[in-house]
């Protein structure tokens, strides 16, 4: 494996000395991943792993697109038109180790015929777990409780200390009943919550669970907890803005593990100041990463985790494995298991 210390110079692939020395196809991996899957690629490919903790800059992505056959990306890498254009005639595929692909210009991939794949399914349970954990943490004020103890404020048991919301019997609204939304709804059902959902299409299995389909406004008005599970698209950008937030119950809890821009952040800040919703529990934010001096973090009724929805060890290993499976399929001239563009 080539864990480089500094970016290699920009060279078109036909002038790339490494490529001339080695006939093996080249792969650029934009992050170090847990597990052995990258190491196992080395028998057949020339593999370079970006050594930094933070993402490679866009000029590095363009350089590697011009030099490499494949790039294994994460949801934070900005794979825009310029990257595809740089890779024209060289790049044979982008395989993303994540399900959301809002960071990828799929129209450019289609136009230039460069396959893009994602990794759906293997992170469903991990992300649903985190959404559920955020919901319980906010409802039962777990993070506040920990801070209270650490601040030396725990002087007595008191009947009114850190009163929270009950889950049993409460109504939860699931916005986007896809893989993760449904897995989240199953967890809620296990806790005897009533499930409402909104989705573009009727979900055939939902009625058998007793989950009720309603329009977005009804879900927002009726739910004690609202959890977002849509992809980020032009249709869902700012799906939750002032008007929608104003429909929520004053003490409702909003959970977002989808994508930050599904919620209008400025509107959310204003609404939270008025206590509607009562609490926002966010794994994803806009912007991301959230600067430490961001106004959201000045509000006491906000709980934030750093986009760790899929971050349990087996899921992260599996995400990379799916990306590599897609890569192998493209390399073999076969249709990849999870194409999202360019195929
Ligand atoms: P999925 O199975 O495709 O589910 C997405 C659901 O959203 C579908 O049911 C879809 O409905 C629905 N939807 C799309 N547009 C909608 C709209 N305008 N209004 C209402 N519903 C809409 O995807 P998934 O695997 O569950 O993943 C969902 C998203 O979660 C990803 O795209 C990603 O952004 C996010 N995610 C975040 C993390 C994290 O770390 N926080 C981890 C994994 C995924 P139809 O079926 O009717 O089209």
Same domain, 143 and 22: no
Buried b (16+ CB within 10 A) or exposed e, 166-203: ebeebbbbbbbbbbbbbbbbebbeeeebbbbbbbeeeb
Read off the tokens for 96.
């993303």
Same domain, 220 and 295: yes
Tell me whether residue 288 is one of the annotated catalytic residues.
Answer: yes
Residue 145 lies in a domain: yes
Domain count, the chain: 2
For residue 79, the domain's CATH number is 3.40.50.720
Residue with CA at minimum distance from ligand 1 atom 25: 179
* CB atoms near residue 162 (< 10 Å): 11
User: How many angstroms is it from 44 CA to the middle of ligand 1?
Assistant: 35
Q: Is the pLDDT of residue 11 over 50?
A: no
Question: What's this model's pTM, rounded to 2 decimal places?
Answer: 0.94
Least confident span in 54-58, 158-162, 274-278:
274-278
> Mean pLDDT score of the chain, rounded to an integer?
94
User: How many angstroms is it from 167 CA to the middle of ligand 1?
Assistant: 24
Same domain, 214 and 332: no
In whole angstroms, give the CA distance from residue 299 to residue 268.
11
Same domain, 129 and 227: yes
In sequence order, what are the residues at sequence separation of 6 or more whose Cβ sits closer than 8 angstroms to the Cβ of residue 218? 196, 198
Same domain, 158 and 178: yes
Read off the tokens for 62.
């363009």
Instruction: Determine the pLDDT at residue 22.
Output: 58
Which residue among the candidates 288, 295, 325, 331 is catalytic per the annotation? Answer: 288
Residue with CA at minimum distance from ligand 1 atom 4: 178
Residue 3 lies in a domain: no
Mean pLDDT of all residues in 232-260: 98
Mean pLDDT of all residues in 234-245: 98
Same domain, 82 and 207: no
Same domain, 52 and 107: yes
CB 322 within 8 A of CB 337: yes
Residue 7 lies in a domain: no
Same domain, 287 and 319: no
Tell me whether residue 321 is one of the annotated catalytic residues.
Answer: no
Residue 44 lies in a domain: yes
> Which residue of 96, 103, 231, 340 sits with most ligand 1 atoms within 8 Å of its CB, as the best mutation to test the pocket?
231
Same domain, 64 and 115: yes
In whole angstroms, give the CA distance from residue 248 to residue 211.
20
In sequence order, what are the residues at sequence separation of 6 or more whose Cβ sits closer than 8 angstroms to the Cβ of residue 271? 242, 245, 246, 248, 277
Residue 183 lies in a domain: yes
Residue 148 lies in a domain: yes
User: How many angstroms is it from 154 CA to the middle of ligand 1?
Assistant: 41
Same domain, 264 and 147: yes
pLDDT band, very low/low/confident/very high, at 310 (cuts 50, 70, 90): very high
| Enclosing domain of residue 94 | 12-122+314-341
> Which residue of 96, 99, 201, 310 sits with most ligand 1 atoms within 8 Å of its CB, as the best mutation to test the pocket?
99
pLDDT band, very low/low/confident/very high, at 295 (cuts 50, 70, 90): very high
Same domain, 110 and 152: no
Same domain, 90 and 109: yes
Q: Which residues line ligand 1 (CB under 6 A)?
A: 99-100, 120, 123-124, 127, 175-181, 198-201, 229-232, 235-236, 257-259, 283-284, 307, 309-310
């Amino acid at each position: 494996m080539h864990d480089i210390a500094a970016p290699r110079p920009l060279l078109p692939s036909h002038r790339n000395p490494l490529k001339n020395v080695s006939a093996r196809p080249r792969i650029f991996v934009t992050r170090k991943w847990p597990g052995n899957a990258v190491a196992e690629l080395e028998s057949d490919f020339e593999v370079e792993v970006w050594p930094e903790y933070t993402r490679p800059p866009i000029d590095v992505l363009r350089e590697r697109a011009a030099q490499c056959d494949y790039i294994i990306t994460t949801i934070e890498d900005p794979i825009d038109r310029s990257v595809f254009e740089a890779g024209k005639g060289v790049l044979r595929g982008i395989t993303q180790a994540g399900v959301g692909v809002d960071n990828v210009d799929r129209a450019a991939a289609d136009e230039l015929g460069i396959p893009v794949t994602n990794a759906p399914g293997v992170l469903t349970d991990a992300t649903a777990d985190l959404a559920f954990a955020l919901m319980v943490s906010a409802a039962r004020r777990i993070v506040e409780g920990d801070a209270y103890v650490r601040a030396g404020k725990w002087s007595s048991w008191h009947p009114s200390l850190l009163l929270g919301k009950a889950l049993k019997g409460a109504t939860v609204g699931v916005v986007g009943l896809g893989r993760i939304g449904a897995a989240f709804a199953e967890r809620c059902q296990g806790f005897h919550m009533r499930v409402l959902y909104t989705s573009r299409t009727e979900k055939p299995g939902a009625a058998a669970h007793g989950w009720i389909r309603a329009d977005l406004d009804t879900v927002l008005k009726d739910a004690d907890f609202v959890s977002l599970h849509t992809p980020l698209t032009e249709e869902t950008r700012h799906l939750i803005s002032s008007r929608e937030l104003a429909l929520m119950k004053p003490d409702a809890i909003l959970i977002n593990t989808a994508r930050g821009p599904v919620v209008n952040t400025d509107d959310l800040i204003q609404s939270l100041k008025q206590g509607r919703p009562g609490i926002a529990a966010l794994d994803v934010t806009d912007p991301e990463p959230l600067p430490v001096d961001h106004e959201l973090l000045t509000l006491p009724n906000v709980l934030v985790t750093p986009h760790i929805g899929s971050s349990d060890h087996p899921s992260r290993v599996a995400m990379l494995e799916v990306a590599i499976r897609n890569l192998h399929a493209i390399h073999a001239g076969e249709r990849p298991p999870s194409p999202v563009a360019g195929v």
